[in-house]
Structure 1
Amino acid sequence: MTGASGPTVLKSPLVVVGDALLDIDVDGRAGRLCPDAPVPVLDELVERARPGGAALAAALAARDGVEVVLVTALADDEGGERLRQLLAPVEVVALRPQGATPVKRRIRAEGQSLVRLDTGGAPGGVGAATQRALEAVREAGAVLVSDYGRGTVDADGLREVIAEVAGRIPVVWDPHPRGGRPVPGVRLVTPNEDEAGVLAAREGLGAGGPPHSLVAARRRAEALCRAWQAQGVAVTLGARGALLTYGSGTPVLAPAPDVRCIDACGAGDRLAVSAAVALGSGSVIADAVAEGVRRSADYVSSGGPACLDDLDGLAPAWQALGVSAGDGVPGGSAPTVVATGGCFDLLHTGHIETLRAARALGDRLVVCLNSDASVRRLKGPGRPIVPEADRARVLLALECVDEVVLFDEDTPVEVLRRVRPAIWTKGGDYAGADVPELAVLEEWDGQAVVLPYVEGRSTTALVAAATGQRAQPGSTVASAASRSRSGRKDA
């Protein structure tokens, strides 16, 4: 898994079992009404196809760099073929369904959904599981069941094998009201708030409380956890995060970061995938849920399923937190993206002032953050003091920072090619000098500018003061050669 916390190790494949869908967005511009009915007319239509359901979960895991096997029902039709192409890096173990591949078409005007058209997908129409499907589950490092109630999970023999492995490897179950019960012994079940209510009622549990309250969520989660014999149930609560219970005792709330939700479609899949990989890599349930909540927030604020649009297949994406630099601004105009870079090891007043000044130059501020390995090469073996995951989260907590992107190289040149900012800011002592990143900025007519520093503020001075050492003269301003490697003064 890629992200601010670094790669997660999953030694055996993640096996996703469930119902695959083809999601198609048809986006257009609504500039007039139809003359014979009060409905918008869409022009300039653009169609985008993406994997959905269990296929989206598999795609997200593959995008994280995880080895993935998808066990799903897939018809030999146009929808099935498009899904196979979209899932090219994923091993797809296809079971034979009855009926056509499920296709969901969202008709949208400038990002706003107008109507959804569903076709295909006969529930309950899957026969026996193949030998390869059963082998894949038995050889998995973790299993994610994404059950939309269309029959894949109940293919003859498959549910029994999932129950068999649940005693020795993490099994995460992402339920749906139309799907079946989780098998006993699963590590984690992840219904959303509404699903938990429907599922509790279906089980005849009668667990309630004030609507949309933590009391109701806790009671339902506890009752479901006991009824399903699950090790944990995490009810996802949207912007409030997720409430985890082990069936009794005080529940754990994993809070969600405060982000702007662009498209929540697939947020539950993102959470379940992240939790499954974290559990398969050795995390405890509470930490896995917290990781899932954080990654889900990153996902929705980055555009939701649109984050798959700019990829060549499903190759691992560049590391990013927060909002995507490519998103539009209110009114539909293209945003002015500003970027800056550095280590930001111990955040101080100088950092805050220059970050605020940079953000004021445009609509979005992207901070290109040196990874731990990059900081060590730049600053020496004693640095960084603060690990990259914490540095990224502290920066994202600032109102003026919209996105943080980690880079491992000695210079931010490659990440700049991905972000393509209109403006790149540098430290005040570059005034009148050539900016090292100027050549790459010229590839898209980007502009470099110099911002003044707050004198007497530096991480080096803070470290010296904390350790009782005397800061070397001139330590608040690093040499130009050193600065050009990180893109910032002694950040």
Structure 2
Amino acid sequence: MSARPLVVVGDALLDVDLVGSASRLTPDAPVPVVEDIERRERPGGAALAAVIAAAAGSREVVLVAPIDSDDGAARLRELLAGRVRLIAIPAGGGTAVKQRVRVGDHSVARLDSGAPVATLGPLPAEAAEAIRDAAAVLVADYGRGTTAAADVREALGAARGPVVWDPHPRGADPVPNARLVTPNGAEAARVAADAATGNGLAAVGARAEALIRLWGVGAVAVTLGSRGALLSYGSGAPMVVPAVAVTGGDPCGAGDSFAAAAALALADGAVTGEAVAAAVAFASAFVARGGATAWDAGDAAGAAGRPDAVADTGAEGVIAQVRASGGTVVATGGCFDLLHPGHVATLRAARGLGDCLVVCINSDASVRRLKGPSRPLVTAGDRARVLEALEFVDAVVVFDEDTPAEVLDRLRPDVWAKGGDYAGADLPEAEVLRTWGGQAVVLPYLDGHSTTALVERSRVW
């Protein structure tokens, strides 16, 4: 663990999903009858941001939040134990509990309990010291009064590390020393309603500039869901960071994951633009992996921190959604070093065999072992970005082994498709596919195109 922790300050909630099935409507109203309900609990609000940050990196995470003494608070403490260090602010008013009633992947109702505003006791000296000495501070404001308390604001104003502020419509204004504020598009439009009309980038940029002037903060990153984020410093052209396209997933918790990733990046010394770019990529991967509903499913960061990790975003989410609807998962693989028409033809044909296409590509080290020390010509991250830009590619996964056997065993596609000179022969991966009833197939190859040939021609030129 790093010596200086990331400190998360804000309102801790208990989130509950009541997940069931529905096959009929009630006779007295056009609403579904939800049966076979399973209760799933998780930390919410600032507590969710804290556990996301703790799972994403090697830095200790400290949560400073009001905690009551009721059953909800006891359950929240249990969920946080072993994940983050909690410094509780004495509080009353009951733990805020948000319950979503869900049928499959769809919410049909939300039930909120607990006082809208918590009754806060004094900020413990231990909390003020942790905030002051943190590598970075993330404020996760959920409008229950924590960030409006005078002693909390005083401690935040004295923070030596960068402050990231994730605001709430009912919350307090960010402290002026905040490095980065991360409202979503609706929050920015609500606070800066007079700055612009519409939802285009010009309007979003104008609102971001207005918020910087209003709050006196360093920068504002307006999160725009599937459109990514717009970062403004108050003057000049804003930076727009597009999001990786995500199929399926649960957007619940995306804002928390964005703010947590930005705070972690700033704690590690990134500049603001780098932090926002990292946060957009992280949030996209977080949503693809199931969002807040998958908060405890192992490594919340997924491939974060691994070589070539940029490419491994969303394959599991894509596959889960296709399987849930009874569809067919198709996978293919290769080095894909210098994408050429032969590759494109094979990929397009492979996608036509099912309802999604996952492309498994060799890592840079794997390519060097297979092709020699002069390859690859293009890094795995860039190869993945090119492939993901193709409309018939749904996800890309990087593997480091010499063969895709391990990644295939993890993804378990219904079909494994290869192009080339394999017709009439058993594909090397066919035996692996048979273990779960999958089928390996060969696709026609567009003759006269290969990366090796392209490299040789370039040398002649």
Q: 1:199 to 1:377 in 2, by over 3 A?
A: same
Residue 306 of structure 2 is matched in structure 1 by: none
Take 1:36 and 1:28, find their aligned partners in 2: how far apart are those partners? 20
Contact persistence 2:51–2:84 (CA under 8 A): no
Displaced runs of 4+ in structure 1, greater than 6 A? none
1:72 to 57, 65, 80: 65
Matched, 1:194 2:209: no
Q: 1:10 to 1:257 in 2, by over 3 A?
A: farther
Aligned residues: 451
Residue 204 of structure 1 is matched in structure 2 by: none
Contact persistence 2:229–2:241 (CA under 8 A): yes
Q: 1:305 to 1:222 in 2, by over 3 A?
A: same
2:347 to 349, 355, 378: 355
> SS of 2:64's equivalent?
strand
Residue 398 of structure 2 is matched in structure 1 by: 406
Q: 1:294 to 1:97 in 2, by over 3 A?
A: same
Residue 383 of structure 2 is matched in structure 1 by: 391
> SS of 2:22's equivalent?
strand
1:341 to 320, 323, 333: 333
Contact persistence 2:286–2:300 (CA under 8 A): no
Deviation digits for residues 149-174 of structure 1, max 9, x if unmatched? 22444566443333222xx5322111
Take 2:382 and 2:284, find their aligned partners in 1: how far apart are those partners? 16
Residue 206 of structure 2 is matched in structure 1 by: 219
Across the aligned residues of Structure 1 and Structure 2, the Cα RMSD in angstroms comes to 2.9
Contact persistence 1:354–1:451 (CA under 8 A): yes
Matched, 1:208 2:175: no
Matched, 1:119 2:113: yes
Structure 2 matches for 1:387-466, cutoff 5 A?
387-466=379-458
Gaps of 5+ in 2: 304-308
> SS of 1:211's equivalent?
coil
Residue 102 of structure 2 is matched in structure 1 by: 108
Residue 264 of structure 2 is matched in structure 1 by: 277
Contact persistence 2:62–2:87 (CA under 8 A): no
Deviation digits for residues 360-407 of structure 1, max 9, x if unmatched? 222121122223333333333333222222222111111111111223
Take 1:339 and 1:128, find their aligned partners in 2: how far apart are those partners? 57
Residue 131 of structure 2 is matched in structure 1 by: 137
Residue 93 of structure 1 is matched in structure 2 by: 86
Report the Cα offset of residue 19 of structure 1.
Answer: 1.5
Q: 1:378 to 1:40 in 2, by over 3 A?
A: same
More displaced stretch, 397-406 vs 125-134: 125-134
Structure 2 matches for 1:3-402, cutoff 5 A?
12-67=4-59, 68-95=61-88, 96-121=90-115, 123-154=117-148, 157-165=151-159, 168-200=160-192, 207-260=194-247, 262-308=249-295, 311-312=297-298, 314=299, 317-318=302-303, 320-322=312-314, 324-329=317-322, 333-402=325-394
> SS of 2:158's equivalent?
helix
Report the Cα offset of residue 224 of structure 1.
Answer: 1.8
> SS of 1:366's equivalent?
strand
Take 1:17 and 1:80, find their aligned partners in 2: how far apart are those partners? 16
Contact persistence 1:430–1:450 (CA under 8 A): yes
> SS of 2:91's equivalent?
coil
Counterpart of 2:143, as a letter, is G
Report the Cα offset of residue 146 of structure 1.
Answer: 0.7
Counterpart of 2:191, as a letter, is L
Deviation digits for residues 389-439 of structure 1, max 9, x if unmatched? 222211111111111122333333333233221222334334444444445
Contact persistence 1:335–1:363 (CA under 8 A): yes
* Higher RCO structure, 1 or 2 (CA under 8 Å, sep 6+): 1
Provide the TM-score with structure 2 as the length reference: 0.87
Q: 1:413 to 1:125 in 2, by over 3 A?
A: farther
What is the identity percentage for the equivalent residue pairs of Structure 1 and Structure 2? 56
Q: 1:384 to 1:307 in 2, by over 3 A?
A: farther
Report the Cα offset of residue 88 of structure 1.
Answer: 4.8
Deviation digits for residues 433-477 of structure 1, max 9, x if unmatched? 4444445434433322233332232222222222338xxxxxxxx
Counterpart of 1:128, as a letter, is P
More displaced stretch, 24-33 vs 421-430: 421-430
> SS of 1:44's equivalent?
strand
Contact persistence 1:74–1:94 (CA under 8 A): no
Report the Cα offset of residue 42 of structure 1.
Answer: 1.6
Counterpart of 1:395, as a letter, is L
Contact persistence 1:338–1:421 (CA under 8 A): yes
Q: 1:273 to 1:328 in 2, by over 3 A?
A: same
> SS of 1:289's equivalent?
helix
Report the Cα offset of residue 272 of structure 1.
Answer: 1.6
Gaps of 5+ in 1: 1-8, 202-206, 470-491
Counterpart of 1:161, as a letter, is A
> SS of 1:97's equivalent?
strand
Report the Cα offset of residue 261 of structure 1.
Answer: 5.7
Q: 1:113 to 1:394 in 2, by over 3 A?
A: same
